[in-house]
Copies of this chain bind each other. A is one copy, B any other.
Amino acid sequence: MTGPITSEDDLIARYLRPLAADFPGAFDLSDDCAVLDPPPGERLVLSVDAVAAGVHFLADDGAADIAWKALAVNVSDLAAKGAKPIAYLMSLAFPETPQPAWMEQFAAGLRQAQDGFGLALAGGDTDRRPGPLSITITAIGSTPGRTPARQDAHSGDELYVSGTLGDAALGLKLRRDPGLAAAWGLSEAEAASLVARYLRPQPRLELRDALRRCAAAALDISDGLAKDLDRLCRASHLGAAVEVAQVPLSPAVAKAVGADPGLLTSVLTGGDDYEILAAVPATLAADFCAAAAAGGRDVTRIGALDGGSSVLLSGTGGHAISLPRSGWDHFA
């Protein structure tokens, strides 16, 4: 079926209904509502995030990558709470009726993402309107116990991050200007690995047990370490001290920063990493690292929370690093 999309029902039937086939409460997307039977005794965790062309992704990013990112950024919020994904609802706004080939790729990206993250499409809404293509997803997960909220950190908690930071920020720069790879001394494979981190964020669901059991507070790093750490500190009414030398870098980012030390600012303030920032009581730090390793994802201690009111990022000589701007803000 490669003919033009003739109606909203046609678009849903051809591209979206298959994504809901495994979720009985989706009623094959033939209803206005989805029905969800919550796992008995569990709490539900809900997140909503919109991504729009020109703001959160580039209009010429591949349709499969756009779909992946739209779902991944929401599932990443669930991952930070140690929740298991169940289902999602999706609101699509197209400026024009999409081409069948584009929708096919978009649906394929959603399929890869939902299978990878373990959730299904439960319902949605499709509109045509002026403005950029935008995809608003509400993701729903569940957890048997407490969730590590932003506001539950305590003075003395140790600060951990998962994976490596800055890959996506440098990946976006490379996506815009591939010539930078040579200037930074990166191989083709290294450059491609950074671009992939930008295009296909990976929610850290493998940290579920570690976060549920050990983290006092956690969030995903979507808007840069500096800004998201600031958010954690404000919500918990704490200060923080981070040693920048401890911030984990991938070999490719380390090489790029070596070639252009100014890139360290991008590593600390650039968004789109979708790694986890967690505050872990010192008594649980060893357990946290062990549970993370058991899940297959390394975590790195970068500093600690304190009773102060400032967030201090200090360089190798102990001097404070001043940052030009603390991450992305839509209205500042």
CA distance A122 to B43 in the complex (A): 14
Q: In the complex, A30 Cα to B222 Cα: how many Å?
A: 15
A261 CB-CB contact with B under 8 Å = no
**A7 at the B interface (CB under 8 A):** yes
A interface majority secondary structure? mixed
Binary B-proximity of A92-104 (CB < 8 A = 1, otherwise 0):
0101010000000
Contacts of A37 in B (CB 8 A): 43-44
Q: Please determine whether A81 and B33 come into contact, CB atoms closer than 8 angstroms.
A: yes
Q: Is the CB of A46 within 8 A of B34?
A: yes
Within 8 A of B (CB), among A52-107: 52, 54-55, 77-78, 80-81, 83, 89-91, 93, 95, 97
A47 contacts B by Cβ under 8 Å: yes
Known: A33-B47, A150-B27, A151-B30. A138 touches B331 (CB 8 A): no
B91 near A130 with CB under 8 A, answer no
With A32-B219, A44-B36, A52-B127 as contacts: A136 and B11 at CB distance below 8 Å: no
Question: Residue A319 at the B interface, CB < 8 A?
Answer: no
Neighbour of A33 across the interface among B77, B122, B128, B129, CB < 8 A: B77
Distance, CA A240 to CA B218, complexed state (A) = 54
Which of chain B's residues have a CB closer than 8 A to the CB of A123? Answer: 46-48
- Docked-complex contact A89 and B46, CB < 8 angstroms: yes
List CB contacts (< 8 Å) of A118-156 with chain B. 122-132, 134, 136, 138, 140, 147, 149-151
Min CB gap A20→B, angstroms: 13
User: Which chain B positions have C-beta within 8 A of A219?
Assistant: 31-32
Flag whether A8 is at the interface (Cβ < 8 A). yes
Give the distance to chain B from A39, nearest Cβ to Cβ, in Å.
9
In angstroms, Cα B46 to Cα A138, docked, is: 10
Cβ of A235 within 8 Å of any chain B Cβ, yes or no, is yes
Tell whether, in the assembled complex, residue A33 and residue B7 are in contact, meaning their CB atoms are under 8 Å apart.
no
Nearest-neighbor residue (CB-CB) of A219 within chain B? B32
Q: Is the CB of B50 within 8 A of A46?
A: no
A293 close to B (CB within 8 Å): no
Picked from B34, B46, B126, B131, the residue with its CB within 8 Å of the CB of A131 is B131
| 8 Å CB contact of A332 from B6, B48, B331 | B6
Chain B's nearest CB lies how many Å from the CB of A131?
2
A8 to B282 alpha-carbon distance, docked (Å): 33
* Residue in B38, B47, B54, B77 whose CB lies within 8 Å of A44: B38
Closest 8 CB pairs of A and B: A131-B131, A128-B330, A32-B77, A138-B138, A38-B38, A48-B89, A36-B44, A136-B136
A-B contact pairs, 14 of them (CB 8 A): A8-B329, A27-B149, A27-B150, A30-B234, A33-B46, A36-B43, A46-B140, A48-B89, A50-B125, A55-B129, A125-B136, A126-B331, A127-B330, A138-B138
